Amino acid sequence: MVASKNRQLHSLQHAMVAVAGGDGTVQRAAAAARDHGIPLAVLPAGTFNHFAKDLGMFPLPAAIAAVQAGTVAKVDLGEVNGKIFVNTASVGAYTDFVTVRERYEHRIGKPLAAVVAAIRTLGGAKAVRLRVEDLDGEVVDARFSLMFLGNGRYEPRGFAPVHRATVDDGRIDLRLLGVTRLGSRARVILDLFRGRIERNRRYQQYSDAEYHFDLPDGPYRIARDGEIGEEIDHLDARVLPRALTVIAPAHPPRR
């Protein structure tokens, strides 16, 4: 749901970018709309329509009505190493984890699908080493298997986030899961099944406007909105506050 105050376009003759497709297609259209300073209209024609749902542009009749009304809002974009994302970015096995989970969740439910995804991805997942300087100037090393970066704070906690209450809260949602031993892997899988991964000490969650990490054992592939990107050996993530103008309902339905 878009929390920003909407305003009326003067005329539907104004230029806009309309996009119908998956998250990767929406991301590219968002970049074009931002670069040209024109509104983006997201039509829900992808598999999961995450961004469209969080904007209130779902189902399709709601999106068409919003386009006809011409109401717009300002929303945030995420950025990693200079390239934007509209929903999520990740390093490590998270993209594979999500792909498997979403393949099964409509048949067996999200908790059990998360277990299947964990078994298939965590077993062969390579631990990624992260290095960061803390507030006291001390260098901290950590290892993780899954990293999730969200454009805005997602709900619920854990590694099955579903939606955002708002897309303009000025935050990057960071979630890390470190699984390096067989015993810890079994506990993580059990906690995923029970829906209690947020209580596992190997799970960490943060919310801030920006993050800066070194990945000293890299390079690693980064994914943005499910699309595999370039190899990186450092990660600079930040929010671009209210950087994108979107078509959105004046009164989005509650989710």
Q: What is the pLDDT of residues 147-196, one digit of tens each?
A: 899 999 999 888 778 899 999 999 999 999 877 666 676 777 777 767 77
Distance between CA 171 and CA 152 in Å, rounded?
Answer: 5
Pure H helices in the chain = 23-36, 50-55, 60-69, 94-108, 110-122, 182-194
In the structure, what pLDDT confidence band is assigned to residue 14 with cuts at 50, 70 and 90? low
Cβ atoms 55, 75 nearer than 8 A: yes
Q: Is the pLDDT of residue 1 over 60?
A: no
pTM to 2 decimal places: 0.84
Q: Is the pLDDT of residue 53 over 60?
A: yes
In the structure, what pLDDT confidence band is assigned to residue 7 with cuts at 50, 70 and 90? very low
Both tokens of 211, joined, read 């993050």
Both tokens of 85, joined, read 């994302």
- Residue 39 identity (one-letter amino acid): P
pLDDT at position 202, please? 83
% of the chain residues with pLDDT over 90: 47
pLDDT at position 248, please? 94
Cβ atoms 50, 23 nearer than 8 A: yes
pLDDT at position 8, please? 46
pLDDT at position 191, please? 74
pLDDT at position 233, please? 95
pLDDT at position 21, please? 83
